[in-house]
Amino acid sequence: MATPVPAEQPTILVLGDSLSAGHGIDVNDSWAQLLQQRLHRLGYPYRVVNASISGDTTRGALTRTGQALGQHHPRILIVELGGNDGLRGLALDDMHGNLAAIIEQGKKAGAWVLLIGVRLPPNYGEVYVKKFHGVYRELARSYGIPLVPYLLDGIGGHADLMQADGLHPNGAAQARMLDNVWPYLLPLLEKK
């Protein structure tokens, strides 16, 4: 009698920047690693692959999206990018186009896509900041994908949850970041 071969675990691919890469903290304490632990604890058979790179822009991530999708064949693609584009004052049309291309590649590869919004400090100017935030809403609407409005909701502006640079969350903030993502991810975990 043949021994049944276990089905390969479906993959969640996190494509992000320093906020998801665990910049400045032990990577095992990052929200993406906590996601893996929560999935295991709750009986979801997913494997989390964190392909996030500190300092990455949407353009940089776009250049490696195809390879990452081909290598990991994710069922779910989590896209957390754009913060570095905004902090560098890069053209929002370029950011929009890069994120759109990443989303399209993910969908074409058969993945459910979850977009995570980030925010800029107000000192970048009201018009730029408003347009920056609007990019995420417009992409989510256009592609019919869920949007986490703000990854650092309840974290940004709280010194006890931020590293000394004021930009990156510390280890104590990671569970809250996961809680901000979870309600938007959960419906995708149930899809077949």
Give the Å distances, CA to CA, from 52 to 22, 132, 191.
9, 21, 24
The answer to whether the beta carbons of residues 12 and 31 sit under 8 Å apart is: no
**103: containing domain:** 11-190
Of 17, 18, 20, 23, the catalytic one is 18
Of 30, 158, 165, 179, the catalytic one is 165
Counting the structural domains of the chain, the total is 1
- The verdict on residue 6 lying in a domain is no
Q: What is the torsional sign of CA 66, 117, 128, 169?
A: negative
- The verdict on residue 4 lying in a domain is no
Is 23 a catalytic site residue? no
Please state, in angstroms and rounded to a whole number, the distance separating the CA atoms of residues 54 and 46: 24
Is 40 a catalytic site residue? no
- The verdict on residue 3 lying in a domain is no
Percent of the chain whose predicted confidence (pLDDT) is above 70: 96
Please state, in angstroms and rounded to a whole number, the distance separating the CA atoms of residues 11 and 24: 26
CATH number where 117 lies: 3.40.50.1110
**pLDDT-derived band at 122, boundaries 50, 70, 90:** confident
Structure tokens at 47: 């494997």
Average pLDDT of span 90-118: 97
